[in-house]
């Protein structure tokens, strides 16, 4: 396949991107107009870690779009944060959150949410532990 303007070979997938205009498929089209991730209403923090579910069904799901597959491919080699997935897929974070909600509901990915600040140890306790270790 060649570029119509220059005659140079076109990279696969580049028919959806115009370097001057940006993506030819707008974010609302990618998510089907949805802004919330699935009926479960799960929220994905930017630092939440996403990995492929080892129990995920084998084979290709025809209900998944190319963006879903791109996220799966990005998670295949290693666990990624939501922010990393958005950057690597060149998609807005809001779109990635919606797509991850789809993948989570289909059992394709698992998400490790960050520990809420209220559940983190108190700084005073950590300082006491450090002081105790130094005293040893």
Q: At 109, is the secondary structure helix, strand, or coil?
A: strand
Q: What are the φ and ψ backbone dihedral angles of 107, each rounded to 5 degrees?
A: 75, 25
Q: What is the pLDDT of residue 29?
A: 62
| Residue 114: predicted pLDDT | 74
Q: Is the dihedral of CA 22, 23, 28, 31 positive or negative?
A: negative
Cα–Cα separations (whole angstroms), residue 112 to 7, 8, 48, 82: 46, 44, 6, 11
Q: Whose structure tokens read 């949410």? A: 113
The predicted structure's pLDDT at residue 133:
92
Averaged pLDDT in 10-residue chunks for the chain of 136 residues:
48 52 59 63 81 77 81 86 89 86 85 75 87 91
**Strand (E) or helix (H) holding 18:** strand 17-18
Q: What is the DSSP string of 48-72?
A: -EEEE-TTPPSS--TT--HHHHHHH
Determine the pLDDT at residue 131: 93
């Amino acid at each position: 396949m060649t570029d119509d303007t220059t005659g140079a070979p076109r990279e696969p997938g580049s028919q959806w991107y115009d370097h001057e205009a940006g993506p030819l498929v707008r974010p609302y089209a990618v998510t089907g107009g949805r802004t919330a991730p699935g009926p479960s209403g799960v929220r994905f923090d930017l630092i939440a870690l996403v990995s492929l579910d080892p129990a995920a069904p084998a084979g290709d799901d025809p209900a998944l779009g190319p963006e879903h597959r791109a996220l799966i491919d990005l998670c295949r080699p290693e666990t990624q944060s939501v922010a990393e997935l958005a950057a690597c897929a060149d998609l807005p974070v809001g779109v990635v959150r919606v797509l991850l909600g789809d993948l989570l509901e289909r059992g394709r990915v698992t998400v490790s949410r960050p520990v809420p600040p209220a559940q983190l140890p108190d700084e005073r306790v950590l300082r006491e532990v450090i002081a105790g270790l130094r005293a040893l």
